[in-house]
Structure 1
Amino acid sequence: MQRAAATEEPAVRDAVSAPDTEGRARRMTRRFPRLTRDTARPEGGGRAASGDAPAPARQWPILAVLGTVGLGLLLTALDMFRLGTILIGLALLGGAALRWARPDVGMLAVRSRFTDMITYGALGLAIVLLAMMAQPKPWLEIPFLDDTLHFTVRT
């Protein structure tokens, strides 16, 4: 009998009681539950403005990035390919800068701050560099990438 009590002691010591949905006390441990009921908000995923502000004002970081991307797509559709794609890349770089500079960016926070900054920054930089290398009359020539392109796409 004493042996069973000794094996239950760490679980009882770590457990706390909290009311469940019907008001009964239930034991909670530090272990992760087998079935999760909710997901945690990503770091920095709080409102970008106070709670009494209207919804667009609370989510201004993602609206700024998506608006700039939309403008870039519109310019690309209107036959200004290089300018439009550079604007899309700059929007992603702006998203990385907002993620770094602001403590709360609302829905712009998808993953951890580090992962979001690396993802937005790398994709934005790649889009800007590729847009600057686009033919005809590239603004930027990187020999390594130019050789890779000619090696993979033979004309």
Structure 2
Amino acid sequence: MKVILSKKNPDGSYDTSRFLFDGIDMYHGDLVSKILELAPADDGSRPRKVKIQLVCKQDGIDYEFVPIDDDGFHLKTTQYPGLTIWFEDNSGVKYRADRNGIISLINELTTPLTLKMWVKAEPYTLPKLVEGVVLSDISFIVWGI
């Protein structure tokens, strides 16, 4: 199973930056959406039961982003208390995560699937201004069978 993850710009062009969370103001607060595209590889495979998860790895320990309330839409981690992330389809319908923060996207990926990742950072999510890459310890995991 191979899935290609791409970032897209609002005009449909592809964002070639290797950082998923670039352009987010973690000091003053921010609300940013990133357009992601999951597509099957060109080898003709059709990934099934495609799922995603966000994991923060610090000091060799994995911290999952898990739902913060009963609705199951908004994900948080203890490592970044002011950070909330959720995913939507093109129609604005939110994807629900299970209690472990795993989101089941689609049963069979035959064509590219576009989704939006919303990132809300409360003011002072990071206690001081940081120049350079932030949130580089967060991994976006995609898998299926």
- TM-score norm. by structure 2 comes to 0.21
Q: Looking at CA atoms only, which structure, 1 or 2, has the larger radius of gyration?
A: 1
Please identify which structure carries the higher strand content.
Answer: 2
Structure with the bigger RCO (C-alpha within 8 Å, sep 6+) is 2
- TM-score norm. by structure 1 comes to 0.20
